[in-house]
């Protein structure tokens, strides 16, 4: 957290400590791996409501993420209002139509073919919640003066991962959506120019007939993503 008044370093004892035996560690991470393997990116949503308190607590989890100089350069806008979701869908689909009409480039569009996506985004209206994630490129004090934030993309990316994990832990599914450009979200949601929208996260329960692309289950083996020294 950055403040205009001087903040000084003060060491305090580690507030929380989790002590596990070697056996408990191995068991805990295996259980978590199994749980996270049940997380799926879903495009078919139910309109079943989700309590605001659940969304708030998931965002509290996101807000606990580490960040550059502890500046916490993120802001989350949680949208339940049906009219606002409809406006976002219309604006997002307008950009998506340009993308799929050739703006995305042949290689990118071809890469998406096994995923089965297109310019239509009905989930933006059907799902009970949209969470728009903003990255604060710089901070501003009440008097309008600015201060620099550090490692903004890295910090926001970590917080987003925390949020997706928390949503899964709550029994919900989510879909990351990044229409390009996304500047329309600043005006629509009343966010300042210092913030850059980086993602729309669609959140809710999966529809009874929800499907996922088969390629989504194809994950790189450990040997391809890990090097030991």
Q: Is the pLDDT of residue 155 over 70?
A: yes
Angle 48-50-175 from CA coordinates, rounded to 5°? 80
Distances in whole angstroms, Cα of residue 174 to Cα of each of 2, 53, 130: 31, 17, 9
CB 204 within 8 A of CB 128: yes
Domain edges within the chain: 39-207
CATH architecture of 39-207: 3-Layer(aba) Sandwich (3.40)
Over residues 7-13, the mean pLDDT reads: 92
pLDDT digits over 156-194, tens only? Answer: 999 999 999 999 999 999 999 998 889 999 999 999 999
Q: Which tokens go with 77?
A: 């806008």
Q: Is the pLDDT of residue 137 over 70?
A: yes
Q: Is the pLDDT of residue 7 over 90?
A: no
Q: Supply the pTM of this predicted model.
A: 0.95
Burial class (CB in 10 A: 0-12, 13-18, 19+), 149: buried
Q: Report how far residue 39's alpha carbon sits from residue 206's, in angstroms, rounded to the nearest whole number.
A: 11
Contacts of 208 by beta carbon, 8 Å cutoff, 6+ apart: 46
CB 196 within 8 A of CB 74: no
Q: Report how far residue 152's alpha carbon sits from residue 132's, in angstroms, rounded to the nearest whole number.
A: 16
Q: Which tokens go with 195?
A: 């913030």
Q: Which tokens go with 37?
A: 């393997």
pLDDT digits over 46-74, tens only? Answer: 999 999 999 999 999 999 999 999 999 99
Helix (H, G, I), strand (E, B) or coil at 35: helix
In this prediction, residue 180 carries a pLDDT of 85
Q: Which tokens go with 59?
A: 């965002």
Q: Report how far residue 82's alpha carbon sits from residue 67's, in angstroms, rounded to the nearest whole number.
A: 33
Q: Report how far residue 102's alpha carbon sits from residue 89's, in angstroms, rounded to the nearest whole number.
A: 20
Q: Is the pLDDT of residue 5 over 80?
A: no
In this prediction, residue 93 carries a pLDDT of 95
In this prediction, residue 147 carries a pLDDT of 92
In this prediction, residue 140 carries a pLDDT of 87
Burial class (CB in 10 A: 0-12, 13-18, 19+), 13: exposed
Q: Report how far residue 88's alpha carbon sits from residue 185's, in angstroms, rounded to the nearest whole number.
A: 8
Q: Is the pLDDT of residue 1 over 80?
A: no
pLDDT digits over 21-50, tens only? Answer: 999 999 999 999 999 999 999 999 999 999
pLDDT digits over 79-126, tens only? Answer: 999 999 999 999 999 999 999 998 989 999 999 999 999 999 999 999
In this prediction, residue 2 carries a pLDDT of 65
């Amino acid at each position: 957290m950055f403040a205009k008044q001087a903040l000084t370093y003060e060491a305090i004892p580690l507030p929380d400590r989790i002590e596990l035996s070697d056996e408990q560690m191995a068991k805990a991470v295996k259980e978590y791996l199994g749980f996270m393997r049940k997380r799926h990116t879903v495009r078919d949503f139910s309109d079943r409501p989700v309590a605001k308190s659940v969304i708030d607590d998931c965002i509290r989890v996101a807000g606990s993420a580490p960040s550059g100089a502890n500046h916490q350069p993120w802001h989350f806008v949680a949208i339940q209002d049906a009219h606002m979701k409809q406006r976002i869908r219309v604006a997002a689909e307008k950009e998506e139509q340009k993308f799929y009409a050739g703006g995305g480039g042949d290689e990118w569009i071809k890469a998406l073919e096994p995923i089965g996506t297109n310019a239509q985004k009905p989930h933006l209206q059907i799902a009970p919640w949209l969470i728009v994630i903003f990255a604060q490129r710089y901070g501003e004090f009440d008097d309008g003066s600015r201060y620099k934030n550090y490692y903004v993309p890295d910090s926001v990316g970590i917080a987003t991962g925390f949020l997706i994990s928390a949503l899964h832990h709550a029994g919900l599914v989510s879909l990351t959506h990044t229409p390009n450009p996304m500047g329309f979200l600043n005006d629509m949601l009343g966010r300042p120019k210092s913030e850059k929208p980086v993602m729309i996260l669609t959140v809710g329960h999966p529809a009874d007939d929800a499907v996922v692309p088969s390629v989504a289950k194809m994950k790189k083996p450990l040997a391809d993503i890990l090097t030991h020294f």
